[in-house]
Each structure stands twice: as C-alpha cells, then as structure tokens.
Structure 1
C-alpha cells in the first residue's frame, strides 16, 4: 500500500535507555544515586558492553546521567533547562518545573498577546478560532486537548508579527506541551474544569478580535494565574 512506512525496530541500546529511564521514573534509581557498572549492566541485560556504552552515551547526552571522575556514573537532577533534549522530558520534576515554566510564560505571553491584539489579521483570527473549535471538540470526546491548547497560544504568537517571539514559543514548544499534558490531564473526568480553560481562551480571543490590547492582557494574566492556582493545589 502506498504511504505505508516500514516499521522500525528499536535498537538494543534504545531499549536499555527506556529501561533505565523507567528505573529513574519509578524511583528504583533515585536522583544522585550511582548506576551499576558497565559489567553489571551488561550481565543484567544480557547484552554486550558496547550496547551498554551506547545507551549510557545517549543518557549522558540528554544530561540524565553524569560521570564523576574516580566515582562512577550517577543519576543527575533533570532541570527545566534540559528540555531541549527529548529524552529528558519524561523525568522532569513536573509540578515544580511547570510552575517555573508558568512564570516564564507569563513574562512572554502578556507582551505577546498585547501585540497580537494590535496586529492580528483575519488569517490569524481564523487560526485562533480553529484552535478553539478543535479544543472544544477534543474536550467533548474526553481528550485533554493538549495540541489544540498549544495551537491557540502559538497562533497568538504568530499574530504578534514578531519573529523573535514566534521563535521563542517554538523553542519552548516541547516543554510547553509536556507541561500542558501534565496540567490538562489533571482535569480529565472534570468537564467543568476543562471547559473553564476553554472559556478563558474564548475570552482572550474576544479581546484580540476587538483590538482591545489591555483587555487581552488582563484575560491572559487571569488565565495563567488560574492555571497556577490549580497547579498549586495538586499533589506532586
């Protein structure tokens, strides 16, 4: 059949990476703990040491582990600054780092939405409206709406007509989607909470559509503050 891509089997080293990540995520390898030696890992996985070295190199490149001279290899604390490497995303300390990201988003997005209200054209408004429709549909079928949520905020950045702001949002997209997944999934099963996020988006859009820059900023500030409050109430 046309368009069918061949199935790619995972390399042994990739499977080892996934297993070590699982150990870290589940607390079997706590932060700052020492990993077993190459020989021990080789024996545990029943593979050659070259596969172990390749897996450790991948984890080191993602800054998930670090080698200390004369001591061995240790699990390091993954910080928000490591978001660029996709391997690190799944073990970022979710609540704490999401709060840090919200502070960053507030600094960036309040200025961005102000410019969007002043500069958005009909194409921009159409993209925002599409994101709102997609978000509503995803909520109705029981999904979290991560992609539509991000698409709305990105459409605002594009409407700012500032290429630097657009690049900043795009560079933050991996960690933004990761944090949106974390926060939005807390609302699964609570349609009222999920709809409140959608309503806040609609209010932001209404202000942008009316060219009300101050109102758009106020709505965006309220939206991000509500996200912060809901997040602060969650248990880690």
Structure 2
C-alpha cells in the first residue's frame, strides 16, 4: 500500500518563478529574443528576493531556455529546444508509464556520446570535463546534492562528441530524468561518491581515446537509473 503513495514536493519560490517564465514562453507571451525585465523589477512584481530571481534565471540558462547577453540583459533563447523541452515535461506529467522509454533513449544517446567523445575529444574538451568533474566532487564532498553538476558533466561529454544534434536531444530529455530519479530515490553520500568514481573512469577512457571502454563504462554507469525506471513503471 505504501508504494502507492508519492512524495509531496513543496515548491520553492525559484520553482514558481521558473514555472511562470516557462508558461509565458509556451503560451507565446514570451518569444525568442524577447528580453526579461530587470531583476529588481521582477523581484518587486513577484514579491520575492532578487536572489530568487537570479537563481531561477541561472537554472533556465543552464537548460538553454534563457541566455544573458552582454549589455542586453536576459533574453529568451531559440524556440526549438525550448518548445521541445516543455513538451517533454508535459509528457512526463501525463504519461509516466513511458518513463522507461525516455531512460532507454538516454542510454542510447549517452553511450554513443561517450564513444564519440573518446574518438573526437580535443585538449580543450578534457579541460572542460575536468572542471565539470571537479565541480561535481566539490558539491558531493560538501554533502550537497549535485544534480546540475552531474548533468553538466554528461553534457560536456556530448559536446566532446562533436555531434550537436546528439547534445540537443540529451538537453531535452535528461534534466527531467535526472530530477525524477533524485526525487524518488534517496541518494546517500556513498552512492554520490560511487557516481563520482564512475565519472572518473569514463573520463579516463575518454582521455585515453578508448572508445569501446568509454561506451562500456557509460552503460554500466547508467545501469542503476535503467533498473530504477523499470521498477518505477511496475509500481505505477
């Protein structure tokens, strides 16, 4: 019986700000290239702190929905990925029974991304991957969840694959999968450190240009989320 209950998630001010902005984009009230009001004005209008506004904008930038341009402020990014990302979110809300299909797609994309990254990576890619790995380790050792840092590491692998379409597809489906996984699974310090060491192994294979080993390590790394998606579908 307990399995039929789901965790109740209390929305933070940042969550509510993000929801409003995404709603305005999906409804067409905010179009690509439109500029958002200044942080101060938004904070006054929404009755929240400027730090809440800043955090929401940073998260939406991370997912490619907004972008900040020098001397131009924060604007809505291209509609392609933004629209699709919104559609994927709606699908996850309405058809959670198909969650495993999204995870299967992620595995296909990420395994191939790791393989291609090992073949095509540049010295600059290795620098960026090391930075992303260090950011993840810092959060984990501080006892904090590192969802965005985890995702960033995987996206840097996709960038190193030199396949822009593959990266775009990952950007669409991965954030909701990762957040869903974190929401329903209790992640302790040991499991977070395990993920860190798995990241280390994947990066080592990419550095050594061992495409077969990189793909195999990525598949093993995603085994847990794959098993989780199957069990989640069964429970529902």
Q: TM-score range by the shorter chain?
A: 0.5 to 0.7
Q: Cα distance, 1:161 vs. partner?
A: 1.1
Compare the two structures and name the one with the higher helix fraction: 2
- Using a 3 Å threshold, how does the CA distance of structure 1 residues 106 and 189 change in structure 2: closer, same or farther? closer
Which deviations, in whole Å up to 9, do the C-alpha atoms of 1:90-121 show, x marking residues without a partner? 73555x44422210012222222111001111
Report if the CA contact (8 A) 1:113-1:157 is conserved.
yes
Q: CA deviation at 1:203?
A: 1.0
C-alpha contact (below 8 Å) 1:139/1:145 kept by paired residues: yes
TM-score for both structures, normalised by structure 1 = 0.58
Structure 1 unaligned segments of length 5 or more: list them: 11-80
Q: What's the secondary structure of 1:84's corresponding residue?
A: helix
Deviates more, 1:224-233 or 1:192-201: 224-233
- Largest Rg, 1 or 2: 1
User: Greater RCO between the two (CA within 8 Å, min separation 6)?
Assistant: 2
Matches within 5 A, 1:60-209: 83-85=85-87, 88=90, 91-92=93-94, 96-170=97-171, 172=172, 175-186=173-184, 188=186, 190-209=188-207
Q: TM-score, normalised by structure 2?
A: 0.58
Q: Equivalent residue for 2:14?
A: none
CA–CA separation in structure 2 for the residues paired with 1:101 and 1:204: 22
Match of 1:214 among 195, 212, 215: 212
Distance 1:136 1:185, change over 3 A: farther
For 1:133-187, what per-residue CA distance to the aligned partner results, in whole angstroms no more than 9, with x for missing partners?
Answer: 11112222333211111111111111011222223223x1xx4212211213455
Rounded to whole Å, the distance in 1 between the matches of 2:99 and 2:105 is 10
- Counterparts in 2 of 1:92 and 1:201: CA distance versus 1, 3 Å: farther
Distance 1:98 1:144, change over 3 A: farther
1:225 and 1:178 mapped to 2: Cα distance? 17
Q: Is the 8 A contact 2:103 2:229 kept in 1?
A: no
CA contact (8 A) 1:203 1:219 kept: yes
2:40 alignment partner in structure 1: 5
Superposed structure 1 runs of 4+ greater than 6 Å apart:
none
Listed one character per residue, the Cα deviations across residues 178-226 of structure 1 (whole Å, up to 9, x for unaligned) are: 2211213455451111221222111111100111100001001111112
How many residues of Structure 1 are paired with residues of Structure 2 in the alignment? 160
Q: CA RMSD in A?
A: 2.8
Give 1:228's aligned residue: 226
